[in-house]
Amino acid sequence: MDARVKARRTLESDLRQAIMCGDLKVHYQPLINLYDGRITGCEALLRWNHPERGMISPAEFIPIAEETGLITSLENGSYAQPVPRP
């Protein structure tokens, strides 16, 4: 089997496991008004700290999630919860 195909299948399997175990985390990044420096909102960024590979870029795991249908698990899961207001 081609090494790239094997690596992708392994990452897909690991992603399934990470979703089931809740290993993906949401990090919130403030959106700043550059005119007055006020926070005007925030952006939710999904991050995956793989136990063996370290941080996996969303550019790497989101396309796999989209192609395999796992994206619905991310959209409907606990990752899609609204941000609590202070």
Q: Per-residue pLDDT for 79 more than 80?
A: no
Structure tokens at 5: 């195909």
Cβ count near 18 (within 10 Å):
19
pTM to 2 decimals?
0.79
Structure tokens at 29: 């990044």
CA distance 41 to 51: 31
Per-residue pLDDT of 32-71, as tens digits, reads: 999 999 999 988 889 999 999 999 999 999 999 999 999 9
Extract the runs of DSSP E, i.e. beta strands, from the chain: 24-32, 39-50, 54-56
Q: Kindly indicate the confidence band of residue 1, based on its pLDDT and cuts at 50, 70 and 90.
A: low
Residue 21 β-bridge partners: none
